[in-house]
Amino acid sequence: MANTLKMAEVYAIYALLERGWSRRRIAHALGIDRATVTRYAQLAAAASGGVPPGAPLGCGPPKPATAPPGSGPDGTRVYERADGSNPATEAPPGSAMADHGAAATSQSHCEPFRPIILAKLDQGLSAQRIHQDLVAEHGFSGKYHSVRRFVRRLGQATPLPFRRMECAPGEEAQIDFGRGAPLVAPDGKRRVPHVLRVILSHSRKGYSEAVPRQTTEDFIRALENAFHHFGGVPKTLVPDNLKAAVLKADWFDPELNPKIQAFCQHYGTALLPTRPRMPRHKGKCEAGVKFVQNNGLKGRQFASLADENRHLWHWEATVADTRIHGTTRRQVGKVFTEVERPALLPLPAQRFPFFQEVDRKVHRDGHVEVAKAYYSAPPEYVGQRVWVRWDGHVVRLFNKQLQQIACHAQREPGRFATDDRHIPAEKRGGLERGAAWWLRKARSIGTDTGQWAAAMLEQRGIPGLRVLIGLVSLTHKHTDVALDQACRVAQSHGAYHLRDIRNLLKRQAPPQEQFEFITEHPLIRSLADYGQLVHNAFEEIRT
């Protein structure tokens, strides 16, 4: 059975045929079979209402739908005129009415009420409500469908044009990556590098450099080379949200790579990524990348990355800088030399210190491992993660706010670098505190104790440090007054051993308690009893 189309599709075919579209194009645009388009094209070309001989049943002209108010009685569309006289009509395609090419262009009945309709649209009113208000308040005699068609035409407004943004000299540089020319090794192995293009927005002065990958390190080095090529630094840098610079894209608050932040601080510039998926925000560089690809690199290949970069530098100087720019109508190199270069920020005294960085967890011993060596962190960061940066000379530790918390000279693998300030007081041994610390403790006990401790250290040397620690530890069992008195006596006799202090402290102990003897007790016999016993014994001997 032949396909029967809906009325809307049939009228669409007729309208597109009148515009001169091919049957293939109509079939593709409407998503229908080309044979179906051919059948309805033949019907349109046939006599009015006629069916070609041999056409299948049901393939004749479709029955027209009921015309909305404002249409003619035979299905023709009525175009309202301002004066309301002799409305022009347009017959549907394939009908036997007036000529198809005579399209009416009469003004709508709604045109005199345009300001009123626009005002009501701004209030959010519907087409039906606007028609009701026009009839009730302004004596409008047109139909609702006239208002609806007029409102629909007003809604098809022309989009606002893009605003072109021009920058002051030295204000901005736009950055983008593109595909470079292939590198062909002697063995035939082929690889394609990336080309970084930096464009100064005012003069359109450019810098191009081929890099093997789009890593953060390659991006920083190429961008730094661009600054030195320009002889200055622009105030802002506008890249897209490339992974080498932006960890998390966000138009309002992007999360930048910490190394990129340090690079921008070193050169005194700011990185402002574009809105995600909005390449026109850096349109100057988008066009600049195409220019270097189509003009400088297309159809070329190189043996090495260095050869490609030498070609790019020569091309920038001889072609890109000498051209008259299509927008500014001025020579790029001349504008840069005379206007933009003096406006750039000065270069710092040294290049950016290139470093490596990793995210590390502080171990239980208070150290982090970097390149197989170990570096201490403040005790409050044990168990937390910190940023570690090293450049072959210095190792720096940062917290999550990128505030430096420690700095060490880089050590050889297997070595430890421990800052004394990172050792908690509870974990410090007695000998680690040093003789000066223990002397202060001894002097806090008493004057004589401090004098004895100083004299003892002078006489006994290094072994005296342990004696000094033992002296201070006696405060756990004896009072400061007793200990100070014992040190006074020991110093008067030249006794500088800890056992002498201990013996003196023992002698100063309270006297032992005295007990009284009991002369009488039920278990103890009196002396008279013992005297009588002795007397009786001698009497027995005599007898």
Residue among 74, 64, 77, 75 nearest 149 (CA): 77
Cα gap 522→194, rounded to integer Å: 117
Place of tokens 């050169």: 267
Tell me whether residue 164 is in a domain: no
CATH code where residue 408 lies: 2.40.50
Tell me whether residue 479 is in a domain: yes
Domain-terminating residue out of 427, 447, 474: 427
Residues 314 and 201 in one domain: yes
Residue 416, SS3 per DSSP: strand
Domain-terminating residue out of 404, 427, 450: 427
In terms of residue numbers, what domain contains 185? 172-343
Tell me whether residue 272 is in a domain: yes
CA 442 to chain CA centroid, Å, is: 56
Residues 466 and 414 in one domain: no
Domain-terminating residue out of 343, 364, 383: 343
Residues of the chain below pLDDT 70: 1-4, 46-106, 156-164, 281, 425-433, 509-521, 543
- Quote the number of domains for the chain: 3
Residues 324 and 381 in one domain: no
The 10 Å Cβ neighbour count of residue 119 is 11
Residues 278 and 369 in one domain: no
Residues 241 and 303 in one domain: yes
pLDDT at 184: 93
Residues 305 and 419 in one domain: no
Residues 211 and 326 in one domain: yes
pLDDT at 335: 94
Residue among 312, 319, 351, 317 nearest 337 (CA): 317
Residues 327 and 457 in one domain: no
DSSP string, 512-527: PPP-PPPS-BTTB--H
Residues 461 and 494 in one domain: yes
Place of tokens 């730094």: 224
Q: CA torsion sign, 246 to 248 to 252 to 253?
A: negative
Tell me whether residue 395 is in a domain: yes
b/e string for 20-58 if b means 16 or more Cβ within 10 A?
Answer: ebebeebbeebebeeebbebbbebbebeeeeeeeeeeee
Residues 183 and 326 in one domain: yes
Is-contact 17 24, C-beta < 8 A?
A: no
pTM equals 0.48
Residue 342, SS3 per DSSP: helix
